[in-house]
């Protein structure tokens, strides 16, 4: 990871000769092939070419963070019996596959930032990996302050992919720890690391976050993020006073039209479906579950996003995200059960009962 540009080019030449060579990154959890190394380096170079010399460090960081969020999703099979912890942490393999987990993702961003002279240190809590950005100029109402701040690229994946406000961009330790507190009051301690982070006190206020993203064309001139347009279009559908089934059909068509790659983003898409597309007082559920399954004839058991709804008037509805057609497909319950199955580890978490079956304790499941 500390090779010069010329050395990286030489490694690419070696990889062309030996495409199955093993390339190991600094985490040493897993390795990437020569082919994946070349793919990853080409993508990184293309991203870095888009950076303008006159940009501030904050603009450069936001640009790279957004590019990573657009390219990579959180590993959708995490927490299942088929999850490969090595592949999900191997730097160039993650870029090639488009899937990874937190410490592998943090390593990619650290690697890219280092190539433009920005120092980022990977840190961990007990359960999560993210970054400290070192010696960054942060605008405040009192002027520019230079120091350290926290960036969590993984927890901002949904925001970067769907053009929402990035809640974990340049936070102080105090502020990012507040986001570990669930509505129930439970502290999940995802960012807790007092020893390394207690003195990280620089926090980029919301208005400056909006200014940075607006300057890059990633937010509108008024500081609003693109996701607002999806919300507005979604509300127009509800104003038509259609049947429950037709409303849901049009919501999913809208999602697929604006974000055609939604089906590959199995950990990020559920939040959009739950909190924007299906979050309206005109649509009620006896139950709504948004999770993952796999196709029974798929030996690799690759995850598929599905939505199950029990509607007051139209009854039980099943939809799955078709990656080829790039749309949500409606199936009958029988068709759905014939084609798909739950992962063993997901079933164990719900006492062996599928979430759409009577007796399941899942009320509203979102796989994250």
165-198 tens-digit pLDDT: 999 999 999 999 999 999 999 999 999 999 999 9
Instruction: Tell me which of 267-271, 302-306, 357-361 is least confident.
Output: 357-361
The 10s digit of each residue's pLDDT in 268-288 is 999 999 999 999 999 999 999
User: Residue 297 to residues 33, 182, 334: CA-CA distances in angstroms?
Assistant: 28, 38, 16
Burial class of 192 by CB neighbour count within 10 A (0 to 12, 13 to 18, 19+): middle
pLDDT value at residue 349 = 87
The runs of H, that is alpha helices, within the chain are: 5-17, 34-49, 57-71, 91-97, 102-114, 157-162, 173-178, 194-197, 206-215, 227-238, 244-258, 269-272, 333-339, 344-349
For residue 351, what pLDDT is reported?
86
Count Cα neighbours of 313 within 13 Å in the Cβ-side half-sphere.
10
The token duo for 267 is 């950990």
CATH architecture for residues 5-215:
Roll (3.10)
- Which pLDDT band holds residue 362 (cuts at 50, 70, 90)? low
Taking the alpha carbons of 239, 244, 248, 250 in that order, is the dihedral positive or negative? negative
> What pLDDT is stored for residue 81 in this prediction?
96
Query: How distant, in Å, are the alpha carbons of 29, 68, 131, 215 from that of 211?
Result: 38, 20, 22, 6
291 pLDDT above the threshold of 90? yes
């Amino acid at each position: 990871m500390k090779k010069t540009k010329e050395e990286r080019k030489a490694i690419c030449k070696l990889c062309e000769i030996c495409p199955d060579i093993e390339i190991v990154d600094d985490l040493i959890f897993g390795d990437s092939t020569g082919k994946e190394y070349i793919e990853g380096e080409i993508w990184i170079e293309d991203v870095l070419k888009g950076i303008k010399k006159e940009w501030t460090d904050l603009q450069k960081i936001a640009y790279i963070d957004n590019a990573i969020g657009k390219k990579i999703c959180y590993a959708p099979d995490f927490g299942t019996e088929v999850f490969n912890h090595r592949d999900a942490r191997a730097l160039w393999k993650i870029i090639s596959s488009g899937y990874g987990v937190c410490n592998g993702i943090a390593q990619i961003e650290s690697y890219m930032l280092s190539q433009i002279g920005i120092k980022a240190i990977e840190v961990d809590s007990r359960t999560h990996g993210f970054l400290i950005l070192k010696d960054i100029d942060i605008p405040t109402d009192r002027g520019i302050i230079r120091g350290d701040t926290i960036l969590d690229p993984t927890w901002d994946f949904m925001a970067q992919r769907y053009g929402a406000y990035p809640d974990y961009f340049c936070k102080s330790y105090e502020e990012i720890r507040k986001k570990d507190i669930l509505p129930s009051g439970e502290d999940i301690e995802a960012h807790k690391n007092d020893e390394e982070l207690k003195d990280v006190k620089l926090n980029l206020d919301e208005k400056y976050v909006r200014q940075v993203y607006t300057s890059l064309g990633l937010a509108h001139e008024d500081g609003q993020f693109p996701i607002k347009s999806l919300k507005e279009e979604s509300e127009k559908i509800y104003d038509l006073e259609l049947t429950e089934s037709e409303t849901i059909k049009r919501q999913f068509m809208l999602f697929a039209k604006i974000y055609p790659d939604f089906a590959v983003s199995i950990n990020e898409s559920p939040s959009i479906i739950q909190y924007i597309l299906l979050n309206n007082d005109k649509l009620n559920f006896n139950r709504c579950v948004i999770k993952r399954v796999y196709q029974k004839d798929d030996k690799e058991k690759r995850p598929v996003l599905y939505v199950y709804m029990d509607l007051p008037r139209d009854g039980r509805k099943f939809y799955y995200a078709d990656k080829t057609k790039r749309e949500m497909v409606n199936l009958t319950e029988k068709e759905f059960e014939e084609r798909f199955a739950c992962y063993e580890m997901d079933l164990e978490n719900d006492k062996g009962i599928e979430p759409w079956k009577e007796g399941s304790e899942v009320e509203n499941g979102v796989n994250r």
